[in-house]
């Protein structure tokens, strides 16, 4: 796949998305506001009940900031419901047209996936600007250029990692009649072990340390920790290395599943 085609695909998906303007703005606002509001009131109650200033190494302002960031970054990392498009392609025969085109199906789909990130990026810019005005920002939170660049790189890798993590599950559609429950399970595991639901520092004992060697923390927890200035440059490099290694492993797994799956694909629907 040429870079030019990658950009064309990216562009066409963005245009497609903009054609549903109401959906675009609704999805941009509601999910974020609900997620942050729940986190705010829940953690306010927890902090009040515990009577302590810090929980899991976070004060209240830092905790709210964590949820604001994890919500915004989460959308960038996960994107829309892309991976389910792969299983839909297999079930409904939509894969057939991509097999006829002289291009790599996964790269083509990934370019479409990135094109669909437009709402998440708009939200990141919009709410990233508004939140410091509306919510109290913890003392000392002023990410510099290095932290922002490191976070951007982590988000990029996190996005690819999430794509590759969900891909083998979606490819099971070659054999199974429905992969929805598998995909939901994987998503929940990713959210839990990735620090989307609670910061990993709240995990018991050595669980946080053990989770470092799994791919999940590099989806949500890792980029948030970078921008909040809680990671050293060495920890950043180490995390990026582990995330990229997982990308490689998952790409190999996806490729193996694809090689087997295409033999049984029947191109239903035509």
Whichever of 129 and 266 has its CB closer to another protein, that residue is: 266
Q: Rank residues 21 and 234 by Cβ distance to another protein and give the closer one.
A: 21
Is the backbone of residue 140 left (phi > 0), alpha (psi -120 to 50) or beta? left
Residue among 164, 154, 70 at smallest CA distance from 120: 70
C-alpha to C-alpha distance for 87 and 84, rounded to whole angstroms: 5
Q: Which helix (H) or strand (E) holds 185?
A: helix 180-193
With H, G, I as helix, E, B as strand and everything else as coil, classify residue 76: helix
The nearer residue to another protein, 10 or 222, going by C-beta atoms, is 10
Q: Which is nearer to another protein, 18 or 245 (CB)?
A: 18
Q: Would you say 100 or 142 has its CB closer to another protein?
A: 100
Q: How far is the CB of 19 from another protein (least distance, A)?
A: 5
User: CB of 3 within 8 A of CB of 106?
Assistant: no
Nearest approach, Cβ of residue 247 and another protein (Å): 24
CB of 34 to another protein, least distance (A): 27
Query: By the 8 A CB rule, do 92 and 178 touch?
Result: no
Nearest distance from residue 264's CB to another protein, in Å? 8
- CB-CB contact of 105 with 111 (8 Å): no
Q: Residue 101 or residue 141: which is nearer to another protein going by CB?
A: 101
User: Measured from the CB of residue 4, what is the shortest distance to another protein in angstroms?
Assistant: 6
Least Cβ distance, residue 241 to another protein (angstroms): 33
In angstroms, the CA 10 to CA 160 distance is 15
Residues near another protein (CB under 8 A) are: 2, 4-5, 8-9, 12, 15-16, 19-20, 93, 96-97, 99-103, 262-267, 269-270
Containing H/E element for 224?
Answer: helix 221-227
């Amino acid at each position: 796949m040429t870079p030019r085609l990658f950009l064309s695909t990216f562009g066409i998906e963005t245009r497609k998305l903009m054609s549903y303007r109401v959906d675009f703005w609704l999805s941009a606002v509601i999910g974020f506001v609900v997620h942050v509001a729940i986190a705010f009131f829940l953690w306010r109650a927890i902090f009040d009940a515990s009577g302590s200033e810090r929980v899991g190494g976070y004060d209240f302002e830092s905790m709210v900031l964590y949820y604001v960031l994890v919500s915004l970054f989460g959308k960038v990392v996960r994107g829309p419901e892309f991976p389910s498009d792969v299983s839909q392609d297999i079930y409904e025969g939509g894969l057939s047209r991509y097999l006829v085109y002289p291009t790599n199906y996964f790269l083509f789909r990934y370019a479409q996936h990135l094109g669909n990130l437009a709402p998440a990026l708009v939200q990141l810019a919009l709410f990233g600007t508004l939140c410091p005005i509306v919510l109290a920002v913890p003392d000392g939170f002023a990410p510099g250029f290095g932290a922002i660049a490191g976070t951007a790189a982590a988000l990029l890798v996190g996005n690819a990692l999430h794509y590759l993590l969900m891909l083998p599950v979606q490819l099971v559609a070659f054999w199974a009649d429905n992969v929805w429950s598998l995909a939901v399970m994987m998503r929940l595991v990713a959210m839990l072990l990735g620090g989307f639901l609670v910061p990993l520092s709240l995990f018991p004992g050595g669980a946080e340390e053990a989770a470092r060697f799994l791919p999940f923390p590099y989806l949500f927890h890792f980029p948030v920790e970078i921008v909040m200035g809680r990671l050293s440059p060495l920890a950043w490099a180490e995390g990026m290395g582990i995330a990229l290694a997982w990308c490689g492993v998952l790409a190999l797994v996806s490729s193996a599943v694809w090689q087997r799956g295409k033999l049984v694909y029947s191109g239903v629907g035509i």
